[in-house]
Structure 1
Amino acid sequence: MTYRVQIRWKVFSDIPQSTSLDFFESAPPIFQRRTGKSLLREIGSNAIDTFVPLVLEPTHVFYNALLKVLQKNEISGKKLPFVFPLSLGPDYSVPVKINLAIRLYGRVACVSVDSDFFDTPNDADFTTIKQLESHGKLLSVVQFIVALLKQGTRHPEIAGDGLRTLSCLQIISDDTSPQMSDEVLAAIVTGHPDVNSNVTSSLIARNRDHQIDKTSLLADKQGLVFYAPPGTSAPSLAKMPRRFRSAAGMLELAAALQRMLRGTNEISLVEFHVIKRLVNDSEIVFSDSVSGRKLWELLSSEFKLPLYFKKIAENMQISEPKNTIKILCVAAAPVELASIKKFLTRELGEGKIVKVGEGNNFDPVQCYVDEKFSTHWYLASQDAQGNGSATTDVGRLARRIQPDHVIMVGMCMGLPESELAPGTVVVPDALFSLEHQRATVGGTEYRPRGMEDNSGLQRLAKLIPTDDFDFKVIFGKKLASASIKIEDPGSEIVNYLRNFAKDVVAFDMEGWGFYKGAEGFSCLWIKAIADAGEPQLASGEGRDEKQSIQSSVTINAIRFAFRLIQKVAAMRPME
């Protein structure tokens, strides 16, 4: 008679202001950062309306730093997952594969310690097994990681203070295992072996609304347990892993937000509004699952999120329309940035420069507010032109701002055979990268890579009325991109496109990098034709004339982009 068990420990820690978050990616990087939308998909929320954490993915530098701790605890392996001994009682342990995931919620770090399934005897003491402190070798590794995060160094001093840990258990009975009573399950959740009947009754009552079958999912601010009694049907068992991941993810999110809201670290305006959606608009964020929404509302109440959020709102004295849309608008060249800034200032008034990011490596971003359409425009520039800078800069800005939509606006080159007049706005449906090249004795060989833009933003752009514009807008054509400035319509790269990519009508130096950097976000490239690759005149007058044209056509691109975003803001879901 045994139980099949899986545990997820959620270990929380606050990163002090003295530790720069940019340290984790400074050379040599300990982690690679990416957005944590997979967690949001896991819990069943609409990621666009939800606070999205940052995921810290370990690099070889992290594993090298961890090696000494692993060797000290006799843990083999070079990368996750590792196998640790988990204690099931005095002098009795089982080897279990353990994975780790590290996520940042502002300055709140969560280390999720996730076990594979393992078997326990029917008399196992789950109130002890659920405690991370019961598993010494695993605890040592987790303490090292938490110290590394808090101190921002590969060689941290491991403190002896306790960790804030919440335990999530999934317990599946076999057909011969004794059924666990409500009192036993309540004891596992609360961590109190002698829990009284009033506590048990209250816990069962608070969790009643989100139950859906014979299994029992009980949660409170101490953790959760998901139990399948003997005789649970095969369909219910098949759904358990997905429901367990979702419930554990919700518990992590609620606990992390509580620490953010009641902590000493400042909440940014961007963080404030996405947290507001979670706390006040759970019907929208969890619109696809009634039981999921009910569980989130329970956890929100258990962690007192409405109360803490109300206090934060009073302190920040913020009053803004609900469902504000955030737009990250990126310009590659200074002339593009100046032209877009001029247009947005004329339309929306003077913008404010806001600081995005931590420490010395912050991004200054111009913020414009469109009150009529409840839209915040965040205007930013690349550090340099080219696809490499576009990938790095757009990715960093998008992770920090967490916009609803990302757009790149500016000017580009038109292929000579396309015969597109200067000022024509191009919205491509696909693009080619010619970044990969090989220099041979016979000339340059191009190794093109392609991608399609099938986003809703791109499809909506085709529906925008353009008849009243004094310029054309072209859809359904292709963009080519490479970090090469073309000043010869007869150059090798133009001839290659002329012969092998006849549907390409435009060329720029950032398009491919933009889409790679904005991967995972709703995004669209919108630029206007400035020239057909003719060389710039060497005289000052020639340079001024070219910049004047570039500025003028960029205004066309932002005019179209501005109308598109207003349509996005005005759209309503189909009823």
Structure 2
Amino acid sequence: MNYTVNQSWKILLPLSHLSPNYLHEHQLFQRQTGKSFLRKIGGGMDKFPISPEILRPTIVFDNEINKVARALGLKGKRMPYETANGTLNVNIHYYFEKYIVLDVVFKQRISFGDISLLQKSRLSSYPEIESLVLAIAGLIVSGNQQSYSPLTSIPTIRCFSIQSLDDNQFSNMELVEALTGHIEPTQRIIDDVLARNSGHQTSGPIITLIDKQGVIQFIPNKPKLTKDALQKYSSCCNLLELMLVIEQSIKDGHLDSNNVFLSALKSLVEKPEDIVKSYTAQRTIKQYSKDFHLESRLSDLTKKIELASSVLISEKKTLRRGWDEFYASNDFFQVLFTALVAGLVTGFGILWAFLKGL
């Protein structure tokens, strides 16, 4: 039972006010646009306004992380590193001057024994990779290679594409277990996951399952299907990353008053066909929108913005109404006359004091 595995872990890190702004020049990174990231989702997607800045490590970053990598037994002077079983790379994406997403990519050939697909998909099953990623996360949050500590824990979302090199198959139960994390899921859960994912499948023998918890794909031993299947896998994983960042931004209220963000979110939820040309990518967006409850989140955000706008308008009306009422009152001219007299007296006093000083 031999397989080729392409897997990644998506790790979302909110930055604190003490973290650097990586849009500015920094010794750890050089910055590039995220257009290629969006293009992997589908044609036309590169015009979507929500995209990452790609942070490319400099030699300062490489030298610091290489110390950790060598101590963990990884080979290479910089990423991608060689492990005992495959190759490891970490892509670093920067969103809204607030969030970092680490895209930890691991490619290997494996043979399955008693270890389940779920276990193989967990970052904790690869302690040397997990330790390296904790160090990278700590360095990025700090921004100071001379004074930082590895993080002690990180949230991970699993993406996993596995291709059989012989005629072995995985059962639907094993695939759903790896996707959801539920050990031996019930038939109801299996049926529900398969039904929700039926709309975006591209080829009968290939199964690609998605939800908020990750992506799982199985490719049978049919080499001619591999290229299209892996393109589908990359599209799903990149879309998942966007959804994770959008969800966290809404939870944090980070872009509540940003009209570009609101407009992009509205297009994503209501008219994905206007964003991306690929039919399967459109279907995938619709499925993710349901999984992340983006329609209700968009509605809540729109109401929040409308409420804030109405309060501002009300405050302006209250100020104008107060002025109009004051102008119409009997006290207006008396108060105005008093203010003018007080102003003249004060001005005369200042002038008199100046003249006496001459």
Residue 37 of structure 1 pairs with residue 35 of structure 2:
yes
Residue 151 of structure 1 pairs with residue 146 of structure 2:
no
Residue 176 of structure 1 pairs with residue 167 of structure 2:
yes
1:149–1:269 distance in 2 versus 1, CA, 3 Å = farther
2:20 touches 2:142 (CA, 8 Å); kept in 1? Answer: no
* 1:101 aligned partner: 91
RMSD over equivalenced CA pairs, Å: 2.3
Show the 5 A alignment for 1:112-191: 112-121=103-112, 123-154=114-145, 155-160=147-152, 162-177=153-168, 179-191=169-181
Runs of 4 or more, structure 1, over 4 Å off, are none
* 1:553 aligned partner: none
SS at match of 2:73: coil
Residue 217 of structure 1 pairs with residue 208 of structure 2:
yes
Q: Could you tell me how far 1:105 is from its partner in structure 2? A: 2.0
For residues 241 and 196 of structure 1, the distance between their equivalents in structure 2, rounded to whole angstroms, comes to 29
* 2:18 aligned partner: 18
For residues 301 and 67 of structure 2, the distance between their equivalents in structure 1, rounded to whole angstroms, comes to 42
* 2:8 aligned partner: 8
Q: Could you tell me how far 1:108 is from its partner in structure 2? A: 1.9
Letter of the 1:242 partner, please give it.
Answer: Q
Show the 5 A alignment for 1:297-376: 297-317=286-306
SS at match of 2:40: helix
1:4 touches 1:120 (CA, 8 Å); kept in 2? Answer: no
For residues 296 and 157 of structure 2, the distance between their equivalents in structure 1, rounded to whole angstroms, comes to 21
* 2:241 aligned partner: 252
Letter of the 2:17 partner, please give it.
Answer: Q
Letter of the 1:11 partner, please give it.
Answer: I
1:306–1:252 distance in 2 versus 1, CA, 3 Å = same
Q: Could you tell me how far 1:3 is from its partner in structure 2? A: 1.9
Cα deviation 1:275-313 (Å, max 9, x = unaligned): 333233211112x21111111111121122222233233
Letter of the 1:15 partner, please give it.
Answer: L
For residues 54 and 307 of structure 2, the distance between their equivalents in structure 1, rounded to whole angstroms, comes to 29
Show the 5 A alignment for 1:253-268: 253-267=242-256, 268=258
SS at match of 1:43: coil
- Percent identity reads 25
1:100 touches 1:111 (CA, 8 Å); kept in 2? Answer: yes
Letter of the 1:17 partner, please give it.
Answer: H
SS at match of 1:21: coil
For residues 183 and 222 of structure 1, the distance between their equivalents in structure 2, rounded to whole angstroms, comes to 16
1:17 touches 1:265 (CA, 8 Å); kept in 2? Answer: no
Cα deviation 1:531-572 (Å, max 9, x = unaligned): xxxxxxxxxxxxxxxxxxxxxxxxxxxxxxxxxxxxxxxxxx
Letter of the 1:227 partner, please give it.
Answer: F
For residues 263 and 140 of structure 2, the distance between their equivalents in structure 1, rounded to whole angstroms, comes to 26
Q: Could you tell me how far 1:63 is from its partner in structure 2? A: 1.1
For residues 319 and 49 of structure 1, the distance between their equivalents in structure 2, rounded to whole angstroms, comes to 27
Which TM-score applies when normalising by structure 1? 0.50
Cα deviation 1:10-46 (Å, max 9, x = unaligned): 11111123323148623xx211111101011001042
Which TM-score applies when normalising by structure 2? 0.79
1:238–1:181 distance in 2 versus 1, CA, 3 Å = same
For residues 17 and 255 of structure 2, the distance between their equivalents in structure 1, rounded to whole angstroms, comes to 10
For residues 271 and 224 of structure 2, the distance between their equivalents in structure 1, rounded to whole angstroms, comes to 31
Q: What count of residue pairs does the alignment treat as equivalent? A: 304
1:248–1:121 distance in 2 versus 1, CA, 3 Å = same
SS at match of 1:118: strand
Cα deviation 1:78-107 (Å, max 9, x = unaligned): 11101134xxxxxxxxx2111111111221
* 1:71 aligned partner: 70
1:136–1:244 distance in 2 versus 1, CA, 3 Å = same
Q: Which has the higher strand share?
A: 1
For residues 307 and 132 of structure 2, the distance between their equivalents in structure 1, rounded to whole angstroms, comes to 42
Cα deviation 1:233-267 (Å, max 9, x = unaligned): x4323312211111111111111211111125345
1:22–1:170 distance in 2 versus 1, CA, 3 Å = closer
Q: Could you tell me how far 1:269 is from its partner in structure 2? A: 3.6
Q: Could you tell me how far 1:215 is from its partner in structure 2? A: 0.7
For residues 254 and 285 of structure 2, the distance between their equivalents in structure 1, rounded to whole angstroms, comes to 25
Cα deviation 1:416-474 (Å, max 9, x = unaligned): xxxxxxxxxxxxxxxxxxxxxxxxxxxxxxxxxxxxxxxxxxxxxxxxxxxxxxxxxxx
Letter of the 1:62 partner, please give it.
Answer: F
For residues 22 and 226 of structure 2, the distance between their equivalents in structure 1, rounded to whole angstroms, comes to 43
For residues 215 and 174 of structure 1, the distance between their equivalents in structure 2, rounded to whole angstroms, comes to 14
* 1:278 aligned partner: 268
Q: Could you tell me how far 1:151 is from its partner in structure 2? A: 2.6
1:313–1:156 distance in 2 versus 1, CA, 3 Å = farther
1:136–1:264 distance in 2 versus 1, CA, 3 Å = farther
Cα deviation 1:361-414 (Å, max 9, x = unaligned): xxxxxxxxxxxxxxxxxxxxxxxxxxxxxxxxxxxxxxxxxxxxxxxxxxxxxx
2:243 touches 2:292 (CA, 8 Å); kept in 1? Answer: yes
Q: Which runs of 5+ in 1 are unaligned?
A: 86-94, 321-575
* 2:196 aligned partner: 206
For residues 255 and 37 of structure 1, the distance between their equivalents in structure 2, rounded to whole angstroms, comes to 18
For residues 248 and 120 of structure 1, the distance between their equivalents in structure 2, rounded to whole angstroms, comes to 24
Letter of the 2:40 partner, please give it.
Answer: E
1:105 touches 1:260 (CA, 8 Å); kept in 2? Answer: no
For residues 49 and 267 of structure 2, the distance between their equivalents in structure 1, rounded to whole angstroms, comes to 7
Q: Which runs of 5+ in 2 are unaligned?
A: 310-358
